[in-house]
A and B are shown apart, each in its own frame.
Chain A
């Protein structure tokens, strides 16, 4: 009954196979760290799960097979209803956050609940403020992305992903833009999410962060899992 099942995943970028048959499972309430040198394919694995890279071979299954699981296999990127179903199951926090540059923090968080899930604007904004509050950036709700520090922007990005309440959360290099003190804060935040029953998959090469909070580590080398 895994939250995420990756089977023999292959991804091709620019004519080159960068992920060459990766398989793993992740359970609810588990933080799985994906480690490896730059170029080992860990970000690409995350992007494939998030529906940003077409799958060349193998499969990705999100959620239990019985109750409305979403399966990605070889073929074009999901669109329309398939895309919405996928993103009801998985959220992503980018290394450089990719906050919407024209919106305040709170509107970054409430935009998708209003327009993708059709929530009422007030309710979505209330939820957004509560999430920002929980992540410690409640005071920055009206700030625009360029006014936020790296750590603040990352928290807003996490809040934005959590607002869609996905069971699986992908974090790409979550500690890269943080100073050591902030890294400890982040580790606590992520643990809270995991203990609440979420599955977190973090691509990172920060060994301290992994030691501090990962349940399990996968080491990627040249597009394959070298050790677990």
Chain B
């Protein structure tokens, strides 16, 4: 579903129509609730909404944890590539060592995870179904694997893209309900089957241009399953228990190496970003303390701009917004975003620290013949550095945690990897604990360092 172009506060789509159909059958009024795609499972189990209808794919994990309706649509996974690459990238095996985009918490993401092991494909996980295709068009990724519905829309919007006809697997959309709602689910199954029988489902999908020959076969099998008679051959309606439906602790254990890898990315990302933050902060602070009026005005405006807008927005602008001019790799956009954002905050710390150095120190340096630059380098800078060190270390801890925001621009760092695990397990509990423990293991030593520096250097310098 998507926002209605004529009234963006309304949502439209085939699932809105299905929801209306179900609601009418139940004698209720549908009310739309917005939930992040990868958190639909825990949200429905918690009771945030009664039924999830949002291109949610059937999988064994969902069946084990939730009440799942009969499948109402069958889709094929489709590999999309740039038209120019259509001849050489026909399958995932052709994409060895290349970046392939998909949406998190989907069957396609599972397929790519397997392809990572089998073909050394590098999966790139997006939070939405539009940017994989725009990034494919500009060359940030070399292919997109998503279901046919999204692939058709992606190709419609980007003339330079083409869908491959290679069989990549099929899946089914289902509705999800909380596990306690099995009785309600059975009523909804009845309503869906009735709509499959009398052509109302066909009418909905025809209206949205999604009706194809796969659907009557699916419906025949769904209806045959109910009556116990054999239906036509096709992909299994109820996927069996596989590796994906293992227990939460087993899955977490299996994901541990990936979590450690992601934690390493978080660490490296944080250190490089902090180095940029310190460097830009020093330059900005020096310019604001020593520079002339126009430079000071420029730097002050920059600091206010960066501090007055959300980091997440800055990351989106750097990664997606600048796409037309310069296609920064995600990790570069992440370092730039975090580094420049924190640089603005660091500059305020350094400016305060420079101004906290008593004027007598500067006068003493002057009467000894030091130039202004020497005074900054030998007297003012070193003293300001000691004032700044403790707040700086605190900021580094904050940056370490804020680095999780870069998951929104496809960087798989610790929080993102945990989210992938949580979507797989269907719960945030154990993955959340493991992730929290990893963050603490990184941030606690830094906090202790900050306290020790404060004790060691905070005292002497004021005396």
Contact = CB atoms under 8 A, between A and B. Distances in A.
B363 A115 contact: no
Nearest to B357: A101
Nearest to B383: A102
Interface string B366-381: 1111111010001100
B361 A83 contact: no
A144 interface: yes
A211 interface: no
A195 B320 CA distance: 76
Given A111-B378, A115-B378, A146-B460, A101 B370 contact: no
Nearest to A108: B364
Contacts of A99: 364
A24 interface: no
Interface string A109-121: 0011001100000
A102 B386 contact: yes
A52 B371 CA distance: 13
Contacts of A102: 379, 382-383, 386, 461
A96 B367 contact: no
Contacts of B366: 51-52, 83
Interface string A157-183: 000110010000000000000000000
Contact of B369 (A83, A100, A146): A83
Contacts of B374: 115-116
A115 B368 CA distance: 10
B280 to A, nearest CB: 24
B447 to A, nearest CB: 25
A94 B369 contact: no
A50 interface: yes
Contacts of B372: 79
A98 B360 contact: yes
Contact of A112 (B360, B370, B460, B461): B370
B159 interface: no
A87 B369 CA distance: 5
A139 interface: no
Contact of A51 (B360, B361, B367, B378): B367
Contacts of B378: 111, 115
A12 interface: no
Given A96-B360, A115-B378, A160 B368 contact: yes
Of listed B369, B371, B372, B379, residue having the most chain A CB within 10 A:
B369
**Size category of the binding interface on chain B:** 20 to 34
Of listed A84, A102, A144, A164, residue having the most chain B CB within 10 A:
A102
A117 to B, nearest CB: 8
A83 B372 CA distance: 11
Nearest to A47: B363
Interface string A73-91: 0000001100110111011
Contact of A115 (B364, B370, B461, B463): B370
Interface in A118-164: 144-146, 160-161, 164
Given A96-B360, A101-B460, A116-B374, A87 B367 contact: yes
Interface in B265-297: none
Interface in B366-405: 366-372, 374, 378-379, 382-383, 386
A52 B460 CA distance: 27
B109 to A, nearest CB: 54
5 smallest beta-carbon distances between A and B, as pairs: A146-B463, A87-B369, A98-B364, A112-B368, A98-B360
Given A83-B371, A101-B361, 8 more contacts: A83-B366, A86-B369, A87-B368, A88-B369, A100-B364, A102-B383, A115-B370, A116-B374
22 contacts: A50-B367, A51-B366, A52-B367, A83-B366, A88-B369, A91-B367, A92-B367, A94-B363, A98-B363, A100-B379, A101-B460, A101-B461, A102-B383, A102-B461, A115-B374, A116-B368, A116-B369, A144-B460, A145-B463, A146-B463, A160-B368, A164-B368
